[in-house]
Structure formats: structure tokens, C-alpha cells
């Protein structure tokens, strides 16, 4: 066994890699197959063969931010804008429950129309349908996050995008990297299941900063990590950028699985957009979650984070039926529960640390 194979074997067993080791694994392509296979074995061991489906509702494409990489940026004057009423959001979530989803993800730009009171009203209503509620609505105050949690919100998704502070603040004008991290700390403190993640292939991003991203997810003990390739949008300042690489994005995701063995990791729509069957490849390389869109078609086309978004022309029924068919062909099953993180690895580590634990297990 050569040194790199031995390194991967150790990562698979003890779920630890240094920054230099991550950089080494991310830099070449020779061991990609081994990385993907190791991540798939770890996925199977800790989260099993169930794939958890979350129904995604993109309820507003209005955003006060001006992030250079995002098609929803306030400065994009060519985008038709929309926002759904609370009644429309609740109606879509109710349909999602009828389709079989146990979790809905409410996602929007940072739209100040949706006050804390409005969001809490929506959350309380959705909880009456037996749904787990995940929010992805950006940076808020600690008090706002606490109010959503009190209303019944279970999860919150807030990607760090990049742990390179200078790059983040260059590409997200008027935003603070430290405030982004403050939001994530607040969410953890309040007991949310916290989702984080990053974009791969941003202009100026380095392999070392991608390694830092993975280590940050681990330090945060993220319950869910979404990794996606950067796809340039023609109506943003980065329209001429090269964009992210599918295989590098897949490898960042797989290495994240090795270091966070029991976290939920989605096969992102951006991967499917960049590579046909990209989500299936992700599910074979460590992912265990898919978030099919249950928004109405006319709104789905307007939620244009990036161009050519996969599934933008499929009905919710078509999306779910086709996905279930593909999963069955892979030998995977659709999860029937809420799909919360089980933290099996954390319990394993705690057991190893208990005095006498090893003796009891070996007796």
C-alpha cells in the first residue's frame, strides 16, 4: 500500500486529516476513485442506504444583497421578481406533505418583506402538518433566530460560501465574514440542526482555502453540508469567470464525508446542472440527501441563482417520481422519517473515551 492509499485508509477509519493532507488529496486526480469509494463506504456505515428527500420551496427571489456570484443580487435589473404570500407558501408545503415529503426547506433571498412575525406565522402553521421545517433565508439577528426556533423551526441552512475572509468580503460587498460566522454560532447555540457549505471554483479561491472550508465544517460540527460548483451567471460581475469544476466539487464533498461521517450531505442541484446525472454520482460518493423543488414552475424559472438550473422545467410530481426510480435502480431507498442527523460517530467517540469502555466491549 502506497502512502496516499494509507492516508485514505486512516481517514476512513479515524475521520481526521490535516490541512496539508487535504491539500495533497485535493490537488491531484490520481486517487479520486479511491476517495469517492472511501466516502461511499463511510456514508453507508454511518447514515445507511436511505436517501432523505427535502421538499424545497423557493418563496421569494427578492434580495437586498449584492453578492457578485448570485443571479438574485439586488443589482440584477433583468430578473423578474416575485414573492409568495404566506398562504401560498403554506399551500405548497401542504402539497409537499401529500407528495410524501416529511421536511420542507423554505428558501429565499434576503427579503425584508417577510418580517419575524410573518415567518413565525408560517412556521407554526407548517408544524401542524407534521413537517420538519428548515429555513434558508440568510443572515438575521440572534433574537430573530430565537423567535423562529420558538415557533418550531428545526433546521437552518446558511452556507459560509468560503472561509477565505478577504475573498468572501470582496465577493459579498457590504457583508462581514465575522458576522456570517456569528450567525452560525447563534444557530448552534439555539439548538438548530445547522447546515453550512461552500461554493467551489470562485475566482481567486485556492486549494488551501477549500481545505480550510472542510476543516471549518468539522469545527462547526455542521449537521448538514452542501457543496456545489460555482456556475457564472451572465447578469453578475463574474459573468466572464471560468466557473467551478465538477470533479473538484465532488471531491470536496467526499472528503467532507470522511471528516464528518454522520452528517447529512446533499447531492446538490448545481452538480446536476454541471454534469448529467451529477446528483447520482454525488450519491455514490458520500451524499445522502436530495432537495427536489416543489415550487410552481413559473417561479422556479425565476429563482435563477445560476443559469441552466437542473429540473427547472419538471413538475414536482415528475421530479419525485423520476428521482425515486433512479434511487431504486441504485439500490437506495427513500427515507421515511424526518432524516435528522443521528450523530452516531459522536457517540462512538464518547464511548471510546469512557473509562473501561474498551474493556467492556472486548470482554
Contact call for residues 259 and 12 (beta carbons, < 8 A): no
Residue 67 marked as a ligand binder:
yes
24 is in an annotated binding site: no
Is 63 annotated to bind a ligand? Reply is: yes
At how many degrees (to 10) do helices 19-27 and 207-220 cross? 130
Contacts of 278 (CB under 8 A, 6+ apart): 246, 267, 271, 272, 310
Q: Which residues pair with 333 in a beta bridge?
A: 50
List the one residue out of 9, 47, 27, 19 whose CA is nearest residue 225. Answer: 47
Does 136 belong to an annotated binding site?
Answer: yes
Q: Report the sign of the C-alpha dihedral through residues 85, 313, 201, 243, in that order.
A: negative
Contact 232, 75 (CB under 8 A): no
Question: Distances in Å between the alpha carbon of 112 and those of 8, 155, 354?
Answer: 46, 20, 49
Annotated binding site for S-adenosyl-L-methionine: 161, 180
Which residue positions form the known binding site? 63, 67, 70, 136, 161, 180
Residues contributing to the annotated binding site for (3R)-3-methyl-D-ornithine: 136
Mark the binding-site residues for [4Fe-4S] cluster, compressed into ranges.
63, 67, 70
Amino acid at each position: 500500500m502506497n502512502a496516499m492509499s494509507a492516508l485514505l485508509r486512516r481517514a476512513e477509519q479515524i475521520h481526521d486529516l490535516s490541512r496539508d493532507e487535504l491539500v495533497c488529496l485535493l490537488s491531484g486526480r490520481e486517487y479520486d476513485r479511491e476517495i469517492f469509494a472511501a466516502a461511499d463506504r463511510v456514508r453507508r456505515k454511518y447514515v445507511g442506504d436511505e436517501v432523505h428527500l427535502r421538499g424545497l420551496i423557493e418563496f421569494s427571489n427578492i434580495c437586498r444583497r449584492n453578492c457578485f456570484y448570485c443571479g438574485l443580487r439586488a443589482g440584477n435589473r433583468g430578473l423578474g421578481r416575485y414573492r409568495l404570500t404566506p398562504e401560498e407558501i403554506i399551500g405548497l408545503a401542504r402539497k409537499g406533505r401529500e407528495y410524501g415529503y416529511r421536511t420542507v426547506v423554505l428558501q429565499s433571498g434576503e427579503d425584508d418583506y417577510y418580517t419575524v412575525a410573518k415567518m413565525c406565522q408560517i412556521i407554526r402553521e407548517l408544524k401542524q402538518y407534521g413537517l420538519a421545517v428548515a429555513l434558508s433565508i440568510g443572515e438575521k439577528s440572534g433574537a430573530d433566530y430565537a423567535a423562529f426556533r420558538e415557533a418550531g423551526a428545526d433546521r437552518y441552512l446558511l452556507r459560509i460560501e468560503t472561509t477565505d475572509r478577504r475573498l468572501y468580503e470582496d465577493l459579498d460587498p457590504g457583508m462581514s465574514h465575522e458576522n456570517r460566522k456569528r450567525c452560525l454560532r447563534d444557530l448552534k447555540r439555539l439548538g438548530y440542526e445547522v447546515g453550512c457549505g461552500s461554493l467551489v471554483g470562485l475566482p481567486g479561491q485556492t486549494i488551501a482555502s477549500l481545505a480550510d472550508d472542510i476543516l471549518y465544517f468539522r469545527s462547526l460540527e455542521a449537521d448538514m453540508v452542501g457543496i456545489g460548483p460555482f456556475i457564472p451567471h451572465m447578469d453578475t460581475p463574474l459573468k466572464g469567470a471560468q466557473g467551478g469544476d465538477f470533479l473538484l466539487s465532488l471531491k470536496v464533498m467526499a472528503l467532507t464525508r470522511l471528516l464528518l461521517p454522520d452528517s447529512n450531505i446533499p447531492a446538490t442541484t448545481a452538480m446536476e446542472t454541471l454534469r448529467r446525472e451529477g446528483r447520482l454520482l454525488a450519491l455514490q460518493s458520500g451524499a445522502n440527501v436530495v432537495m427536489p423543488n416543489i415550487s410552481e414552475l413559473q417561479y422556479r424559472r425565476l429563482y435563477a441563482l445560476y443559469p441552466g438550473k437542473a429540473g427547472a422545467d419538471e413538475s414536482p410530481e415528475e421530479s419525485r417520481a423520476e428521482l425515486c426510480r433512479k434511487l431504486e435502480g441504485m439500490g437506495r431507498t427513500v427515507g421515511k422519517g424526518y432524516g435528522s442527523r443521528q450523530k452516531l460517530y459522536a457517540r462512538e467517540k464518547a464511548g471510546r473515551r469512557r473509562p473501561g469502555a474498551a474493556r467492556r466491549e472486548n470482554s
